[in-house]
Amino acid sequence: MKDAYKDAGVDVRAGYESVALIKKHIKRTETEGVLGGIGNFSGLFKLDLKKYPDPVLVSGTDGVGTKLKIAQSMGIHDTIGIDAVAMCVNDVLCQGADPLFFLDYIACGKNYPAVIEQIVKGVAEGCIQSGCALVGGETAEMPGFYKTDEYDIAGFCVGAVNRNDIVDGREIIEGDVLLGLPSTGVHSNGFSLIRKIFGDDAKSLSVKYKGFDKTIGEVLITPTKIYVNDIQKIRKLTGIKGLCHITGGGFVENIPRMFIGAEGLTPVINKGTWKVAPIFDLLSEKGEITEDNMYRTFNMGIGMMIAVRKEDVAKIKKEYDGTIYEVGYVAKTVKIQKDIEENILIRG
């Protein structure tokens, strides 16, 4: 019998095969709060009211931008899902929440079950790194909208925090210290500019630049770091006053967001206090990008910024043994021109 829907470009049987292939990956992410299983119309999750007696739900949603073009050109699909999870859970972390569960949305021109499995395998890995459950998702085959070898992915995460434990910057004061956790590279932002500089076809991405032991494509596809374990580790040592996930907009746009609840204060960043990954030097050189624009676009080697008491810095640095950097401090806001306040000061 002729399959009219398949003739229109949508293969329902491929969808069934994709679901069968991804079930084992989803199963790996199950946590105590998960109720039900894959196949329901929605995901169910039971909130632990003993752990969160005064709960506030914290949500975040994001995608991975045009980093997808790099993955698709290289034929590497099992890391981009980690990026999707990271972009969401790292944002949720910034309010002090523990990620609880995640959902993904994949849209494609043609459903290739083996590719979908690799994408979801990455999503599952990201969820495992985050300690959250993958409770559902959607794969939409959209012929005519996407090319047959194209896909997009977005994610949605929900976390929880007790009301008194919300991190909103209100407790930040002058003299607090800013600590930076290193990134794994460019993460998932700035790729429209990156692709303009290096190209996004297989040939361009296979180039190995001087000083690198990997191709530029392999360097760029490195997954975004997930900071759940780091933040939970630091919270056991001391209180955290502010958190900032450095994503699109780099230092200049993101770090001041940590101070929304703290009026009259400015983050001061001291360049040279952390190791800037070689990829950023290469980007600046090949793209002829000014230092100011680099800080306005990229994470520059710091993926998460933390505001803590000055008295707590030594024990945190001791615990991390050189893998966390003291990158700056909190100062009173100064006016750089009449009636213009400086939102961030990067010096050195």
Domain with CATH 3.30.1330.10 in the chain: 4-165
CATH number for 177-347 (one of 3.30.1330.90, 3.30.70.2740, 3.40.50.10490, 3.90.650.10): it is 3.90.650.10
List, for the chain, all residue ranges whose pLDDT scores fall below the cut of 50. none
Please tell us whether the domain made up of 4-165 is placed in CATH 3.30.1330.10. Answer: yes
How many whole angstroms separate alpha carbon 172 and alpha carbon 178? 10
Q: How far is CA 98 from CA 33, 46, 49, in A?
A: 13, 14, 14
Give me the pLDDT at residue 336, please. 61
Per-residue tokens: 146: 């996407």
Other CB atoms within a 10 A radius of the CB of residue 248 amount to 17
Tokens of 313: 């810095």
Look at residue 320 in the predicted model and tell me its pLDDT: 87
Task: Read off the pTM.
Answer: 0.95
Q: What is the pLDDT of residue 260?
A: 85
Question: Which pLDDT belongs to residue 67?
Answer: 98
Q: What was the pLDDT predicted at 339?
A: 58
Are 86 and 80 within 8 A, CB to CB?
no
| pLDDT number for residue 340 | 53
**Quick count: other Cβ atoms within 10 Å of Cβ 109?**
18
Residue ranges matching CATH 3.90.650.10 in the chain: 177-347
Between CA 292 and CA 294 the distance in angstroms is 5
What pLDDT is recorded for position 341?
57
How high is the pLDDT of residue 280?
A: 97
Buried residues in 129-159 as b, exposed as e (16+ CB within 10 A): bbbbbbbbbebebbeeebeeeebbbbbbbbb
- What whole-number percentage of the chain has pLDDT above 90? 85
Determine the pLDDT at residue 16: 83
Measured between alpha carbons, how far is 56 from 159 in angstroms, rounded to an integer? 8
Residue 7: predicted pLDDT: 72
